Chain A
Amino acid sequence: MISPEPGLAIWTIITFLILFVVLRKFAFGPVQNLIDKRRDTIEESIRAAEETRKEAERMLAEYRESIAQAKYEAEEIIERAQKVGESTKSEIVNQAKVQARKEVDDARDQIQRETRKALQEIRDQVADLAVLAAGKVTAGSITTDDHLRLVDEALSEVDFDKLGAGGI
């Protein structure tokens, strides 16, 4: 059982050395290469993932900033619009006031003008009526020309301006 068998020892060494050479060439080499390759792949993936994460963070920060900027701008725009609106409003109101005043003034002028014109017409018609009436009373003692002259004299004594101003 424990007798020395040098042949067996030689067979052992031969078998083992052949196995060693074969394994080193066909098994361990490829497996080690694969493990190295996988490590590289994983490292590369981690690096890529890290880069992507950084990029995402950067973009998020950028978006946050642009959203904040947009909010600020929107507020500014609203504020400005409010201001513009208010100033436009007061401007319109003022314009309206001016316009209204002007129209009132115009209307007053017109009324005065019309009044004056009406009084002039009344005066003319009163004169004509007076002449006609006097003519019938006097019945030809005085010529038409005399009548007119007399009426004019009488009328010139009447202050129509006062009458107009007081009448309105």
Chain B
Amino acid sequence: MSAEGSHGEEATFSPTAEFEHAVEPLSFAGVKLQFHLGPIDMSINRVVVYLWLAAIITGVICIGIARIAAIIPSRKQVAFEALYEMVRDNLVGAVMHGKVAVKWFPYLLSLFLFILISNLIGLVPLFVSVDHNNIPQFSAYAATSNINVTVALALLTFGLTHVSGVRANGAIGYFKGWIPGTAPVVLKPVLFLIHAVSEFFRLVSLGVRLFANMLAGHIMILVFYGLIFMLPSVLMIIVLSPLIEVGVVAISLFEIFVSVIQAYIFAILSAVYIGGAIHQEH
């Protein structure tokens, strides 16, 4: 996959090369899909395609199920409704109540499904790019293993947290809520600063947690596959590749679990942050 022995003198293997290639602009019918919005590079690269793919698959599944939905549900519908109600009752219902929960549920469910599908797509090898000889390349990539994607999603939650906090409590009330009321006056600016820093690191941790988990899983799989290319003799390849394959299957199964857990964590932390900003406890 990412063995770069074809155009170098020495066969080198870099599992992270996959991720570096992902942000290179793609070509379509000979045209490089490179766009600029002022100073910002808005090129269509593999990450963007994966984002679209995740969005389309999520949309098709959800709308498809909504269209076939009936009072007496089919098996697909039962599965979807179980997921829907799990997010509604266990994820949103655990941290938000009443009207706030109803208002934020669609956002959090969309977030959960989008991240989940993005993560899972990463486990399926797809043809989304060509190599330098214009030969389609199989690659398994997840949009969520790019930090720009996860931080952008975290930023969305971050922005919504503070906007909804201000809307629910008023600007002064909201920022006052950052400081414990019983604190001595002298300490108040310091406490405010500490809270502001903690808010910023919530954003960072939310983005980085998802990115790092997805990246780590992919690198593990790629490293295992890379081992096959690095084996020195044909005999060793024949003997060891089945073992390596077993390892990859095991890691892939674990990655399915991680995909679900990370999507759930991202969504529930978003719910906790937004809910916390609306119902301040200080």
Contacts and interface: CB of A to CB of B under 8 A. Distances in A.
A27 B51 contact: no
B84 A31 contact: yes
The dominant DSSP class at the B interface is: helix
The dominant DSSP class at the A interface is: helix
Contacts of B148: 4-6, 8-9, 12
Given A1-B215, A23-B106, 13 more contacts: A1-B147, A2-B147, A3-B23, A5-B47, A8-B47, A8-B148, A10-B37, A13-B153, A16-B110, A19-B59, A20-B110, A24-B106, A31-B81
Contacts of B52: 15
Closest 8 CB pairs of A and B: A27-B62, A9-B152, A12-B152, A8-B148, A19-B55, A30-B66, A20-B110, A24-B106
Contacts, number: 120
Interface residues of B, number: 49
A13 B148 CA distance: 10
Interface string B118-150: 000000000000000000000000010011110
Interface of A: 1-13, 15-16, 18-20, 22-24, 26-28, 30-31, 34-35, 37-38, 41
Contacts of B19: 1
Interface in B76-118: 80-81, 84-85, 105-107, 109-111, 113-114
Contacts of A6: 40-41, 148
Contacts of A26: 59, 62-63, 66
Nearest to A42: B71
Contacts of B62: 23, 26-28, 31
B71 A11 contact: no
B69 A20 contact: no
Interface of B: 16, 19-20, 23, 37, 40-43, 45, 47-48, 51-52, 54-55, 58-59, 62-63, 65-67, 69-71, 80-81, 84-85, 105-107, 109-111, 113-114, 143, 146-149, 151-153, 155-156, 215
A27 B63 contact: yes
Given A20-B106, A34-B71, A11 B48 contact: yes
Nearest to B115: A16
B51 A12 contact: yes
A105 B70 CA distance: 101
A85 to B, nearest CB: 66
Given A4-B148, A7-B40, A9-B151, A24 B110 contact: yes
